[in-house]
């Protein structure tokens, strides 16, 4: 009769790198976000950090990057695993270079995938999660047009290059967002960033633990209104 604990003690596991689930937060920090909106967004980011950190598998698998956009596009945080993610405190000022910001986020996603492939790391479809309270401002119409075309080319059922989500805060031009992204944009109820980030971390949890064929059922958003 074999010792009941023998399998657990004797079977050794293959050392594969943890699969990764990349997520870019693309955050509008233009002047109109000043005051209550940017404060609520910063609080929401801290909720995101805390929720992911409590989730042992997600904190090793989810990789978070933060890009802010106003008159300049800034990579506030390049990809880090969620256990090393520290929520930044963002300031609001300037115009809304949304097109350039989208290109930056999509470039980062492509580069990250290349890095995963080069290192034999398995990965999940990347997410770009854009939050804005306005519309493109201060850049050429071409910039947003090209960015929108790139989203449409990447985020579809054939290519599946990325999943691009747009969230509009009060004042956002929802019609522009509808044209921009493949997926219907979602309007944030008030400044309920906390609920939104709780939903995002729950979704990241679901994605990062999904094995090949589970349908990733995301919790229904309690923070979104009908657009």
Partner 1 sequence: MSATRSVGRPGFRRGAQDSSPWRVVAASVCGSGHEKAQAPCQDAHAWRVFREQGVLVAAVADGAGAAELAALGAAAASQAALEAVCRGLSALLPPDESAWEDLLRGATTEALEAVRREAGARGVPQSALATTLALLVATPHLAAAAQVGDGAVVAAARDGNAVALTTPDIGEYLNETTFLISPNALDRMQFRLLPEPVQHVAVFTDGLEMLALKMPEAAPHGPFFAPLFRFVGQSQDPEAARAELEAFLRCPRVRQRTDDDVTLLLAARVG
Where do contacts with partner 1 occur on this chain (CB under 8 A)?
A: 1-2, 4, 6-8, 10-14, 16, 19, 56-57, 120, 122-125, 160, 207, 209-216
Q: Tell the smallest beta-carbon distance from residue 111 to partner 1 (Å).
A: 15
217 contact partners, CB below 8 Å, separation of at least 6: 206
The edge-to-edge listing of strands for the beta sheet with 21-28 is 73-81, 62-69, 21-28, 127-132, 163-168, 186-188, 224-225
Least distance (Å) between residue 103 CB and partner 1: 21
For partner 1, which is the closer residue by CB, 103 or 210? 210
Rounded Cα distance, 186 and 194, in Å: 15
- Give the CA count within 13 Å in the CB-facing half-sphere of 103: 13
Cβ neighbors of 44 (< 8 A, separation 6 or more) are 193, 194, 196, 197
Nearer to partner 1, 86 or 216 (CB): 216
Nearer Cβ to partner 1 (142/215): 215
Looking at the Cβ atoms of 75 and 206, the one nearer to partner 1 is: 206
Of 98 and 207, the one with the shorter C-beta distance to partner 1 is 207
CB of 219 to partner 1, least distance (A): 11
CB of 216 to partner 1, least distance (A): 7
Q: Select 107 or 175, whichever has its Cβ closest to partner 1.
A: 107
Measured from the CB of residue 107, what is the shortest distance to partner 1 in angstroms? 18
The minimum distance between CB 110 and partner 1, in angstroms, equals 12
């Amino acid at each position: 009769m074999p010792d009941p604990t023998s399998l657990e003690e004797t079977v050794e596991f293959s050392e594969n790198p943890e699969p990764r689930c990349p997520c870019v937060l693309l955050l509008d920090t233009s002047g109109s976000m000043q005051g209550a909106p940017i404060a609520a967004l910063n609080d929401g980011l801290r909720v995101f950090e805390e929720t992911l950190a409590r989730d042992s598998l997600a904190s090793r698998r989810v990789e978070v990057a933060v890009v802010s956009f106003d008159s300049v596009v800034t990579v506030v945080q390049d990809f880090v695993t969620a256990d090393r993610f520290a929520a930044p405190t963002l300031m609001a000022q300037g115009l809304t270079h949304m097109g350039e910001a989208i290109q930056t986020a999509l470039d980062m996603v492509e580069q990250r995938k290349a890095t995963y492939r080069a290192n034999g790391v398995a990965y999940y479809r990347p997410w770009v999660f854009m939050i804005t309270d306005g519309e493109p401002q201060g850049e050429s119409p071409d910039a947003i047009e090209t960015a929108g075309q790139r989203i449409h080319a990447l985020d579809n059922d054939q290519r599946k290059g990325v999943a691009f989500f747009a969230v509009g805060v009060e004042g956002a031009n929802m019609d522009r967002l509808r044209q921009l992204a493949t997926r219907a944009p979602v309007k944030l109820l008030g400044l309920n960033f906390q609920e939104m980030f709780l939903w995002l971390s729950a979704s990241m949890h679901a994605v990062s633990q999904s094995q090949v064929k589970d349908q990733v059922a995301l919790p229904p958003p309690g923070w979104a209104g009908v657009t």
